[in-house]
Homo-oligomer: A and B are copies of this chain.
Amino acid sequence: MQFTRRHILAGTAGLAATPLLPAISANAAAPLAEKQAPSFYRYKVGDAQVTVISDGINTFALPETFVLNAKKDEVNTALDKAFLPKDKVSIHFAPLVINTGGKLVVLDTGNGPGAFASSKGNVGQFASNLAAAGIDPKSIDMVVISHFHGDHINGLLTAENVLAFPNAEVLVPAVEWKYFMDDGEMGKQTSDRMKGVFANARRVFDAGLKKKVTPYEHGKDVAPGLQAVATLGHTPGHTSFILSSGPDKIFIQSDVTNHPALFVSNPGWHLMFDQDPQMAEATRRKVYDMLVADKMRVQGFHYPFPAMGYVEKDGTGYRLVAAPWNPTL
């Protein structure tokens, strides 16, 4: 650094007349950082503590039928309106760790470390962000699963196909369990996608967990202060949660909507991954009307990180208003 030579002792009269762009020395160039900040975030709900742990983002070319009942052009218009690039979608995954009543609960597990190898680390970050948050998988008491899609259950297993949370009880929605473990239901499937969902659920729960799960009922607490709420349609047993502590509470929506720029703005749009799109839409409208009426905080598995905010009405749809990041706890 040519510190003294480059500095100007400037008073009010002596403003710089010299060029402000010193020649760039290649030797002095600071290297660009190679890593994003660890993507975890903490907040309180009463006496409970929530840590949002990003599992990363999956970006893929916008499928023709990503929205079953809207044209690709309409979807692109919605993306553009939200200042997002056209012709692709970037879906975020936000599993949670909840410390409630002394129990350390993982709520959905992300895509697992082996998933989306082609993403080059963009997806499958749950384990590394969990470590960055200082949470040991061995310390997890319970894993609660909202539904059986791969981005929620595949993180139950490590890349070596052993339990990712070796000391945790695994709780699954009873309705979801009954449906996906039913050979008759599996036999009815005609689409490759649904056959794949069944096969993957059995891979994880049969081969991986040896069926060591505790089914839970909707309308009941699955952990202290964590109530399971039936929000059916996305899957037959799809579950949301209300986390309460004292007068404070938050609605954990799971997959009531996918990307908010598309499905919060357009609650009548049907996602290609909604197994019963009509029921999913009815659930979505009911939940979002409730969130608006109660001005209730909401955490969304597919919202952008840290995936928490409030919902307001916006024309014929809704708008997600992200809660401001708090740099302190």
A contact set with B: CB distance below 8 Å: 1, 3, 6-12, 15-16, 20-21, 24-26, 28-30, 32-42, 49, 51, 54, 56-57, 82-84, 90, 92, 99, 101-104, 121-122, 125, 129, 132-134, 139, 141, 167, 169, 171, 174, 177-178, 181-182, 211-217, 220-224, 295, 304-306, 309-310, 321-329
Contacts and interface: CB of A to CB of B under 8 A. Distances in A.
Nearest to A328: B122
Nearest to A25: B102
Instruction: Select the residue from A21, A25, A54, A56 with max chain B CB neighbours within 10 A.
Output: A21
Contacts of A211: 9-11
A214 B181 contact: no
The 4 nearest A-B residue pairs measured at CB: A29-B102, A304-B324, A305-B325, A30-B104
Contacts of A177: 10, 12, 15
A327 B310 contact: no
A216 B328 contact: no
A301 to B, nearest CB: 14
A217 B21 CA distance: 12
A24 B224 contact: yes
Contact of A329 (B36, B84, B217, B329): B36
A162 B42 CA distance: 34
Contacts of A83: 295, 309-310, 321, 323
Nearest to A134: B33
Contacts of A139: 30
A32 B99 contact: yes
7 contacts: A10-B211, A15-B217, A30-B139, A56-B327, A92-B325, A92-B327, A304-B322
Nearest to A324: B304
A57 B221 contact: no
Nearest to A30: B104
A149 to B, nearest CB: 19
A215 to B, nearest CB: 5
Given A10-B177, A32-B49, A102-B30, A16 B215 contact: yes
